[in-house]
Amino acid sequence: MKPIKMEMSRREKLIIGLQLLAYFSLLTLVAFVLPSCTNECDVENTYFYYEPVYTSMEEIRSSVELLPPVELKQVGKIYFNNGYLFINEPNEGVHIIDNRDPANPINFAFINIPGAFDLAVRGNILFSDSYMDLVAIDISNPTAVTELGRIEGLFEEYNSYGYYASAEYGVVTDWQLREEVTVTESSCVEPQYDWGVLYAEGIALTNDASFRASQAVSPSNPGMGGSMARFALVDNFLYAVDSYNLRTVDVTNTTTMTSGNQVQLNWGVETIFPNGENLFIGTTSGMHIMDISDPLSPQLISTYEHVQSCDPVIVDENIAYVTLRSGTECQGFTNQLEVIDISDLTSPQLLYTYEMFNPHGLGKDGDALFICDGTDGLKVYDASDNSKITDNLLAHYQSIQAFDIIPFNNVAMMIGEDGLYQYDYSDLSNIKFLSHINISNE
């Protein structure tokens, strides 16, 4: 991997800035504070100059391999299948957790997959993104996984602007701090920067953000993902969403996977949840309901609109549960749980709204509703009466920052900022802590 300099027009720089804001949600920019104009207009600003590090696609596509277990370092997507829990390490790969004894989970191995952010598992096949590619991996032998198939360039948004990926340079996989520069500028003249970022061959920031490229069930097959998932498997078809597209892939033969129609949706797509012959897609402005009776040609049935906010969704029979949360990437200020009647898919109706703290992922099993309420922890409700959900709080674990959860077979598997937590909820009146695997955050 090496840094490569490129000359760019101002239009290209602006495009890159917009892309950076969309993909690097962890990047926090410090705004300029401009004093009122006086006779002394000169001020000194310090900039931290970064250059992109590119990795060739040849190297990336030859890097899928099984490694010994490593510590979890970041919160990622989770997927449970056949006694094993798969945890995405954003941009790096997938942890395999032997979870056949939830009280004693074993961090079994790590699959190195550069550019991995989402995953799904069907039988013995794990599907993951790898930057712009979709890759299928045989996990039938967890001690010797192998790549079976790949669709190159499926997630074409990586190629759209020639900066994150190109035939000449490869993919931006990191950023290197090159120098710190102090510049004298006039506070009485509008600074020449776009969205708080100055551009040259690389990127200059007004603070040292030290950023990385990492922010680019049925009874017969007991596999399920969390509510924050962007991948969904239905029979022999995989559905994947990015910020504005729904893609379909026939994975009947994993060595020769084929893509179907691509459906363009409104901007702000976040999550996907399958239920029967329908997909429920959460966005920052509403919930799309898609008909997948023709698997490779999804059709929009209806859209339930809500205020601007982040929006995971799950479905239980004729009821959809949606959590809305405030956050920089969503630019909303609402934190609540919405209960929606979807008995008529063409006309979803809001039934009840409950105030929350900052809800993220959620899950439901029977009458038990699990809400990952951000820094306010994990909350478990009796949802047998949807009109009185918050009146029936069964448990509240406040000491954790909860992100997403999979409740299955009386075990709740929850990922949070400091690790994987598991709980036995076979007796809802006496929910028991089972185990914890730490996230090192290093």
Per-residue pLDDT tens digits for 319-358: 999 988 876 555 556 889 999 999 999 999 999 999 999 8
- For residue 58, the surrounding DSSP H or E stretch is helix 57-61
Three-state DSSP class for residue 348: coil
β-pairing, 133-138 vs 393-397, is unpaired
Residue 301 has pLDDT above 90, yes or no: yes
**Mean pLDDT, range 260-279, rounded to an integer:** 86
Count of domains for the chain: 1
Question: Could you tell me if residue 64 is inside a domain?
Answer: no
For tokens 């013995």, the residue is: 124
What pLDDT is attached to residue 189?
53
Task: Categorize the per-residue pLDDT at 185 as very low, low, confident or very high, splitting at 50, 70 and 90.
Answer: low
Residue 405 has pLDDT above 80, yes or no: yes
Question: Could you tell me if residue 306 is inside a domain?
Answer: no
Distance CA 46, CA 30 (A): 12
Residue 294 has pLDDT above 60, yes or no: yes
Higher pLDDT, 431 or 14: 431
What pLDDT is attached to residue 180?
72
Q: What are phi and psi of 427, to 5 degrees?
A: -120, 100
- 90-94, 249-253, 332-336, 359-363: segment of lowest average pLDDT: 332-336
What pLDDT is attached to residue 201?
52
Question: Could you tell me if residue 179 is inside a domain?
Answer: yes
What pLDDT is attached to residue 96?
95
- Residues 6 or more apart whose Cβ sits within 8 Å of residue 260: 237, 247, 248, 249, 250, 295, 296, 297
Which residues are paired to 349 by β-bridges?
341
Q: Which of 378, 382, 337 is nearest to 364 (CA)?
A: 382
Residue 86 has pLDDT above 70, yes or no: yes
Q: Which domain holds residue 195?
A: 2-56+157-205
Residue 44 has pLDDT above 50, yes or no: yes
Question: Could you tell me if residue 7 is inside a domain?
Answer: yes
For tokens 């949840």, the residue is: 273
Task: Categorize the per-residue pLDDT at 195 as very low, low, confident or very high, splitting at 50, 70 and 90.
Answer: very low
β-pairing, 278-283 vs 269-275, is antiparallel
Q: What's the burial of 242, exposed, middle or buried (CB within 10 Å: 0-12/13-18/19+)?
A: middle
Distance CA 362, CA 216 (A): 24
**Mean pLDDT, range 150-159, rounded to an integer:** 80
- For residue 356, the surrounding DSSP H or E stretch is none
Q: What's the burial of 426, exposed, middle or buried (CB within 10 Å: 0-12/13-18/19+)?
A: exposed
Higher pLDDT, 100 or 308: 100
Question: Could you tell me if residue 263 is inside a domain?
Answer: no
**What's the pTM value of the predicted model, to 2 decimals?**
0.79
Residue 179 has pLDDT above 50, yes or no: yes
Residue 23 has pLDDT above 50, yes or no: no
- 104-113, 166-175, 384-393: segment of lowest average pLDDT: 166-175
Question: Could you tell me if residue 181 is inside a domain?
Answer: yes
Distance CA 24, CA 106 (A): 32
What pLDDT is attached to residue 440?
80
- 50-54, 105-109, 205-209, 394-398: segment of lowest average pLDDT: 205-209
- 231-235, 237-241, 257-261, 269-273: segment of lowest average pLDDT: 269-273
Structure tokens of 17?
């800035």
The alpha helices in 249-399, defined as continuous H runs, are none
Residue 4 has pLDDT above 50, yes or no: no
Residue 215 has pLDDT above 50, yes or no: no
Question: Could you tell me if residue 102 is inside a domain?
Answer: no
Task: Categorize the per-residue pLDDT at 52 as very low, low, confident or very high, splitting at 50, 70 and 90.
Answer: confident
Question: Could you tell me if residue 9 is inside a domain?
Answer: yes
Chain centroid to Cα 38, Å, comes to 47
